[in-house]
Amino acid sequence: MNDQNSLTHPSPVHPQRIINVPVQPNQRIHVIDILRGFAIFGILLVNMEFFNNSVFAYAMGLYKPETAIDQIGRWFIAFFGEGKFYSVFAFLFGLGMALQLNRSQEKGTRFVPFFLKRMLVLLLIGLVHAYLFWVGDILILYSILGIVLALLFRKCRPRTLVVWTLVFLIIPILMNAALYGLVELSDEKMIAEMFSEQERVMQTSAKTADRIYATGSFMEITRQRVGDMNFVFSTWPFMGLNVLAMVILGLAVGKMRIFENIPATLPLIRKTLIVGLVVGVAGNLLYVIAGESSYRFIPSQPLIASLVGQTFGAPALALFYMSGLILLAQRPSWQTWLAPLASVGQMAITNYLLQTVICTTLFYGYGFGLYGTIGGAGGILLTVLIYSMQIPMSVWWLKRFRFGPVEWLWRTLTYGQRQPMKKVLI
């Protein structure tokens, strides 16, 4: 969700003679905004279930569709959505960092202090989002991983970064396999009692959360959110490594400058499309089928199989999505159709946070109280409806203003001075 995509390559100058300045809208790489705008739709598609159910119900697989059409909707979201769109965002986040790093090196400016300040501002925005609006926030994790990336991986070569991508994808599988091995070697009765107690606690937590989110006031729900965030943080050692892997891959691609010369790399993009489709379909079939017979946090053979499927299938399908859109964007007949997505992507954080405001108002007790009443199929329709409103809203806004409201705030706080907002209309 980075807004510093530069196409320019100024000659290096002495670092003391230039300071970091914002990249202007006309310097952006258009296709990156298209990809980001498409990902905003997928993020909402997956998050819709989290707005409508507690994190405890989702984590333990307690949510079960009541109708056949909702079950189909659940499978659709799992196969095409879960893990794919945060992978896209993570990739683009790393790519954006690489573009900023390249630009900083070419201009002779200091990258790390500026980028760390940028990540700290993003962390602040994420904390406000998570604790005052919704526990499903991803900005906190992105900001932390951005700091890790800037400090530890910015100097790595692309080939090294690809190796690290594979390492961080594999670690969660090994962790779960080790846990499964410990379970198999432990006393069967003791393990059964432990998991039974864990499930009881999670069911109780889910019921409490469901009641408060459905009927509570803003203050009651905020207190519940604070407690829920502790549980969310406990899942990050597993999810966070997958996100980090895709951020690192995006950094590697950015260092290879593929997005700055797409016509020259079309053969590679076509190969990525094919490999991504094959691996993505196979992996996600395994993820969905094996996942139907496993709890998400109880080590088992089906869980490990499902994890393997998603670990490789989700990034592969994410790469397929991105490659496909890049290839379509090269065709003049498709450029008009894809252009509005770029507007959504250019103000991605604003649209992401707006989705939270809309959905929590619809679902929570202090709003319309629809919590727990929308199934998988209804969630898909609601996603389409909300996103269909965000497209023209984004186009309208960017005709009049240079940045989205939150992007403007992010820039202003990062650079320490008020950024120009309105466009000068000629």
Note the pLDDT tens digit of each residue in 141-150: 999 999 999 9
CA 258 to each of CA 11, 12, 98, 304: distance values in angstroms, whole numbers, following the listed order: 20, 21, 11, 34
The whole-number pLDDT of residue 179 equals: 85
What is the distance between the alpha carbons of residues 119 and 140, in angstroms, rounded to a whole number?
9
Which burial class, exposed, middle or buried, applies to 65 when counting CB atoms under 10 A from its CB (0-12, 13-18, 19+)?
A: middle
The sign one gets for the Cα dihedral 116, 315, 352, 138 is negative
- On whether the CB atoms of residues 119 and 4 are closer than 8 A, the answer is no
The whole-number pLDDT of residue 201 equals: 85
- The mean pLDDT values, 10 residues at a time, for the chain of 426 residues are 38 40 60 96 94 83 79 92 94 94 88 94 97 94 93 94 96 89 78 79 90 96 93 84 95 93 93 97 94 69 90 96 96 92 96 98 96 92 97 96 95 92 73
The runs of H, that is alpha helices, within 186-217 are 188-215
The whole-number pLDDT of residue 18 equals: 38
What is the distance between the alpha carbons of residues 159 and 148, in angstroms, rounded to a whole number?
19
Write the single-letter amino acid at 379: G
- pTM, full prediction: 0.89
